[in-house]
Structure 1
């Protein structure tokens, strides 16, 4: 037991000397998939992670994965569609860690379906969990991010599909997130807060479910990726986000970057 404790302390000391040593990151939807991958990658670079989401068991699982290599993580329950819950979460994170340096808005409900089938309720939930939640969290975290902050918001290249059938609602809310991010980059840049967007294609549980239930469409989708594979949540998505949040990318601001193996052209 003492040896295990000693090893953990050594690992923690090593992590504090890495790219994100002792920075605090709040990541929504971090219980699985891309959010979990980003949480693990940032923790490996020394960040202390606020693992936020709706399902406590999943949040604890992510924390355990981080604790296993000596990282620091704490679970926080949040309903990103509820203003009070969001406010309480941010306050709890700052109280626990003593500050906040990185915000990753990852959680999102996806309003998918043809326009004649997509309901107003589904589109509204996409709006509330996407642009509105992103807007709310950015503003709540702004006072703590001033001076040395990085915001990473998640969007999608769905609006760049030549055939957007079935993706109109999803693309609409994701494009709104890109607009909010670009605005924050301009308005908050003087406060030394950098705001950027990633548009990932990764083998998350959600994509896995979709591929299993739509095998032909999934194969056709995969064929449009030049690298011919889906991204790994930790190694392909998370590690890049860690670099975006580090001093190595201190001049990166207001950009949308497709982490999709070359599939989308954003020009």
Structure 2
């Protein structure tokens, strides 16, 4: 079933590949206007071209920026407001942290993970809040990780810590802004992104073991498995659902 997002404006960070691309394509199919934010213009433009084949080219725009930079989140939201007149849906997808042992993480690695993760999420949420209130409500969806609830979190400490901070911030938005018609969710996905494809190629035995821990026996597709579910969460079909963590991982995690 295709959800109805006609007339909605969605700002999607990390919109140039992987889950961001999958979500953007499904949003476009549902009728939303997509404002894609990311660090690589060529990737954003490639996704924009795909969206233009689904809907009108006037319904998609790209904005190249590193959300870790000071003022970048606010500038991205301002550009979205100028382009489309408002923001109804915020998808916090971009995050530069990746699994690494604690003693190899380093302060610079952790600091950058915090800037692209929870700090950017907070800044983006604050920046879109006035527009959502003015438009009678909105939806915030933040991509986190089931690594925080793994049976063994070895190697996932910094990565999961930044995602957990994003989870709490998003949950708090649902609590503080619910009376203003703003809903907020977290999604913990497993999806076949370029980064995961690289990991599988370079760690075939570990990857095979990982897939065996997924009851459904496969890794999710960014469009059909993740994008369609996120479109549902962003639509009025789930209008009484807020503050939830949705594990889109084939039944692996125990949230």
TM-score, length-normalised on structure 2?
0.96
Task: Tell me the CA shift for residue 148 of structure 1.
Answer: 2.1
Task: Tell me the CA shift for residue 83 of structure 1.
Answer: 2.7
1:162 aligns with 2:147: no
Which position in structure 2 is the counterpart of 1:108? 95
Which of 138, 144, 150 is the equivalent residue of 1:149? 138
1:26 aligns with 2:26: no
1:43 aligns with 2:32: no
Task: Tell me the CA shift for residue 87 of structure 1.
Answer: 1.5
Greater Cα radius of gyration, structure 1 or 2 = 1
The separation in 2 between residues aligned to 1:83 and 1:193, in whole angstroms, is 26
1:129 aligns with 2:99: no
Which position in structure 2 is the counterpart of 1:189? 178
Which of 96, 105, 110 is the equivalent residue of 1:118? 105
Task: Tell me the CA shift for residue 130 of structure 1.
Answer: 0.5
Report if aligned partners of 1:111, 1:123 keep a CA contact under 8 Å in 2: no
Task: Tell me the CA shift for residue 111 of structure 1.
Answer: 4.1
Which of 26, 49, 54 is the equivalent residue of 1:69? 54
Which of 228, 231, 244 is the equivalent residue of 1:255? 244
Report if aligned partners of 1:111, 1:125 keep a CA contact under 8 Å in 2: no
Report if aligned partners of 1:202, 1:232 keep a CA contact under 8 Å in 2: yes
Deviations, residues 189-230 of structure 1 (Å, cap 9, x unaligned): 011000100000000001101111111111111000011011
Q: State the 4+ residue runs in structure 1 displaced beyond 6 angstroms.
A: none
Residues 111/235 of structure 1: CA separation in 2 closer, same or farther (3 Å cut): closer
TM-score, length-normalised on structure 1?
0.91
Task: Tell me the CA shift for residue 114 of structure 1.
Answer: 1.1
Which position in structure 1 is the counterpart of 2:65? 78
SS in 2 for 1:117: helix
Q: Structure 2: which 5+ runs fail to align?
A: none
The separation in 1 between residues aligned to 2:211 and 2:29, in whole angstroms, is 29
SS in 1 for 2:54: coil
Q: Structure 1: which 5+ runs fail to align?
A: 1-14
Report if aligned partners of 2:28, 2:54 keep a CA contact under 8 Å in 1: no
Task: Tell me the CA shift for residue 80 of structure 1.
Answer: 0.8
Aligned length: 250
